[in-house]
Structure 1
Amino acid sequence: MLSMTQDIEDMESLVRRRLRALRVAQGWSLEELAGRANLSQSSLSRIENGRRRLALDQLVTLARALDTTLDQLVETATDDVVTSPTIDGAHGRMRWPVKSDPGMSVIRQRVTEPPPDNPSRMRAHPGREWLVVLSGTAILMLGHRRFRLETNQAAEFPTMMPHAIGAEGGPCEILGIFDRDARRGHQSEAVGDDGVPGAPG
């Protein structure tokens, strides 16, 4: 029984810290958040500092005001925090699943070839993709436009637009993040027309 009581107290303490952290991150005072949540400033202050019990209806209202959900407010860390990648040595790729959304995945890849000159070799499929250049210079072809991405620059684009990714001036290393639809599109296009696996994109 003592352990359960301690668990509840730990959870409440975590929720209080999250409420305050989210409020501060938004740049809101106690008064501003209280107004958005239809609470008095003194009630919100007591909730944050532990002098008032947490009520479910108030937590739901506060979560909505802070643009989050009750589930996210009370979520606790699991034991499987660290994830090891699946390594595809043949294609020079590492892939990590995103635990909070099994449909998403993260892929790290070394790209050595320039993007294709022929627009017909660009891919298009449902979804959305995020790309971060870890080292070198990458070229993102998006429709008829050409974007040059240096180290630490990122791009976000809808994958329904024909696109391709290549390297400029030597190899580059990229990190691609794919939503469920984009991941499915890449799985079905794992090998390009020339038989060479394409880079994320």
Structure 2
Amino acid sequence: MTQARTTTPLAHEVARRIRKLRADRGISLSELARGANLGKATLSAIEAGTRNATLETLYAIAARLDVPLAALLAPPTPADAPTVSGTAVTAELLEVFTDDGATTELYRLTIRPGPTQTSPAHPRGVVEYLTVFSGTALVGPADTPLTVAAGGHASFASDVPHIYAALDAEVHASLVIRHPSRRQG
């Protein structure tokens, strides 16, 4: 017997946004799946809104589409901020700021103890700024991660694979991701 998958309203909004961004860029489903290192069936189910994507998957799709993660999520409202989860991280989009030089996303982050989450490389020039409020986190480039304790902060280029892990207990933090503008010349 096949179980029906339950998806969230956010999954349907994400599906719509991915389809539109992919179509706007003239990228086929197969090309996006290959570029994001996903199976075509997985991406098809995400685009159909019948599958909830993990945070890692959404980052891979956003990187291939060369857009901030916020471009795949519904615009945040104070009462209903979009929340996505991955292997170890739950991220709640609080705000998106755009100016001539960059798009900046602000997230409330929870890192669960146990697994390590590896995020795929973002486009060139993307930088992340993490401030830890409680717990101790291991974050940053996978080959040179940083340990950040409560009250501390770190910044790192996230255009390489990077990790998030809670070292002792659940970590509560804020994450700012700055995406430089891509100017066509």
TM-score band, normalised by the shorter chain?
0.3 to 0.5
In proportion to residue count, which structure has more strand?
2
